[in-house]
Amino acid sequence: EMCFQLQISNHSENYTSVTALCLFCPSDSCPLTVDLNTVSTFLKRSDKNRKVTRVEEEQPYPDHPDRFDLCQLLCTDGLTGRSYWEVEWGGKVYISVSYRGINRKGANDDSWFGFNDKSWSLGYAVWHDCNKVFKCSSSSSSKVAVYVDCPAGTLSFYRVSAETLIHLHTFNTKFTEPLYPGFGFRNLLIYYKWNTNIVTLCEI
């Protein structure tokens, strides 16, 4: 299989410099499908379920034990190999991966993406197990790429800018279960309007 070289840049608040070239194979590209049974009733789906918006009006979704009380959702397929995907976001959105067993009910740390040992999350900071690992620049692009290599135990977040992936953070750990891509939407009305908190799954 032919692989492509992606230019990877290392990013900090003070500088950006090219550090490496990453091999990306088309088979690593991972089309995401929203798990409709997990979508919070305060998230509205559109564009054939590829776009999700935080809304004030509760949506008439049926009760389901997998549905989040918080404004979050998971995708359908658990990842166990190497996978790459891109999403566009706006407002206060958290790009996440999680074990399937994350708590769905209530609003405690064991439910929020990035605030427990079952999930990892990128917003304007990178979170895992309630620890802010890395603070991202507020001027980051609205498109983000995620690359996970489950056997190697790496999870990387990148800012997508033209043909360049700018590295934001990499987790190095041992994944013990399949990982499910997910998205969280914060409820900060003082800073954001409801309809600006949006995530769109990108086709690669």
Which structure tokens are listed for 202?
């990108």
Work out the percent of the chain whose per-residue pLDDT is above 90: 56
pTM here is 0.83
Q: Can you give the CATH number for the domain in which 28 is found?
A: 2.60.120.920
Total length of the chain: 204
CA 55 to each of CA 43, 85, 113, 169: distance values in angstroms, whole numbers, following the listed order: 6, 25, 19, 30
| CA dihedral for 82, 22, 145, 175, sign (positive or negative) | positive
Number of domains in the chain: 1
The string of pLDDT tens digits covering residues 43-98 is: 999 999 999 999 989 999 999 999 999 999 999 999 999 999 999 988 888 999 99
Determine the Cα–Cα distance for residues 168 and 137; give it in Å rounded to an integer. Answer: 9
Structural domain of 83: 4-201
